[in-house]
């Protein structure tokens, strides 16, 4: 009879314990189990009580992104205004590139902070919306990793598109590997690529499903996003945990 009272905690505890034994080495070797249905299902269960945390993080992320964009515009606009060169078009192009670099590098820690909220929820670790600001100490490796990712995917898109699609999916877990496991930019890119390649089509399907969930939430007068956004953020966290497990912080 006492078993009846243990039932409510069984699902999440078992689902987490069953794949927490993963590691970077096992992930690269493909020694993990990944199912789109199980990942989305677990993420849905974990949205209960965590939607507020994710939405606070999303609001802080949005405000900080706007602030970084404004600062970048002031810096690059000022540089263009005070330039005495005789080629304004060239100056404008350089200012545009500099603007994109500042925004890309400045927003990289914010983006990985959102991802880490989902990962910590998936690992039953304490987190809050302010997690979006917790990774600026890694702004340099995160910025480099982001730029390399965009460059490689862009080159792949030029090369018959298919290589670009392959890399876009294969690099999905790059940024949290930098923030969570302290990997260097190239090491994180390669670790994500090698691990996801073992189940590339499953991750492609996972990406499509999460995008459809967000789109469906947006179409429902945006009200559906209240559930859709937390679901997808946590789903990424669950996927990351399934591939690379839980690090030993001891």
pLDDT digits (tens, 9 = 90+) for 62-121: 999 999 999 999 988 765 544 445 445 666 788 888 999 999 999 999 999 999 999 999
In a domain, 249, yes or no: no
Residue 7 · residue 229 · CB < 8 Å: no
- Is 7 a domain residue? no
Domain extent, residue 176, equals 19-244
> What is the three-class DSSP state of 175?
helix
**DSSP SS3 for 6:** helix
Instruction: Tell me if 98 is assigned to some domain.
Output: yes
Flag whether 11 is in a domain: no
Residue 218 lies in a domain: yes
Does residue 165 belong to any structural domain of this protein? yes
Quickly count: other Cβ atoms within 10 Å of residue 199's Cβ. 19
Instruction: Tell me what pLDDT residue 106 has.
Output: 95
Residue 60, C-beta contacts closer than 8 angstroms, at least 6 positions apart: 129, 130, 132, 133
In a domain, 5, yes or no: no
In a domain, 8, yes or no: no
Say if CB 138 and CB 95 are below 8 A apart: no
pLDDT of residue 4: 40
Could you read off the pLDDT of 124-134 as tens digits, one per residue?
A: 999 999 999 99
CA distance 50 to 114: 13
pTM for the full predicted model: 0.85
pLDDT at 13: 41
Query: What per-residue confidence (pLDDT) applies to 120?
Result: 97
The CA-atom distances, in angstroms, between 113 and each of 33, 34, 150, 157 are 25, 23, 19, 27
| Count of structural domains, the chain | 1
Quote the strand ranges of the chain, DSSP E.
none
* Residue 186, CA distances (Å) to 20, 107, 177 in order: 25, 19, 11
User: Distance (Å, rounded) from C-alpha 107 to C-alpha 142?
Assistant: 9
Predicted local distance difference test score (pLDDT) of residue 53: 96
Averages of pLDDT over each 10 residues, the chain, 250 residues: 40 45 87 94 95 96 96 78 52 84 95 97 95 96 96 91 94 97 96 96 97 90 88 97 82
pLDDT at residue 249, rounded to an integer: 56
């Amino acid at each position: 009879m006492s078993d009846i009272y243990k039932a409510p905690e069984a699902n999440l505890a078992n689902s987490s314990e069953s794949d927490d034994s993963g590691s970077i080495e096992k992930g690269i070797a493909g020694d993990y189990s990944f199912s789109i249905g199980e990942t989305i299902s677990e993420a849905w269960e974990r949205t209960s009580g965590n939607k507020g945390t994710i939405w606070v993080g999303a609001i802080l992320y949005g405000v900080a992104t706007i602030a970084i964009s404004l600062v970048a515009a002031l810096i690059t606009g000022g540089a263009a205004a005070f330039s005495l060169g005789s080629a304004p078009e060239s100056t404008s192009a350089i200012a545009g590139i500099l603007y994109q670099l500042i925004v890309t590098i400045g927003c990289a820690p914010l983006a990985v902070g959102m991802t880490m909220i989902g990962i910590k929820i998936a690992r039953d670790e304490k987190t809050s919306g302010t997690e979006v600001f917790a990774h600026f100490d890694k702004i340099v490796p995160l910025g480099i990793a982001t730029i390399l990712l965009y460059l490689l995917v862009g080159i792949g898109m030029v090369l018959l598109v298919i290589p670009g699609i392959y890399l876009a999916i294969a690099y999905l877990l790059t940024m949290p590997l930098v923030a969570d496991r302290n990997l260097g930019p190239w090491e994180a890119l390669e670790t994500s690529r090698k691990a996801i390649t073992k189940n590339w089509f499953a991750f492609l399907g996972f990406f499509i499903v999460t995008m459809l969930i967000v789109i469906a939430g947006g179409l429902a007068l945006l009200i559906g996003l209240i559930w859709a956004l937390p679901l997808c953020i946590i789903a990424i966290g669950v996927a990351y945990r399934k591939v690379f497990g839980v690090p030993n912080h001891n």
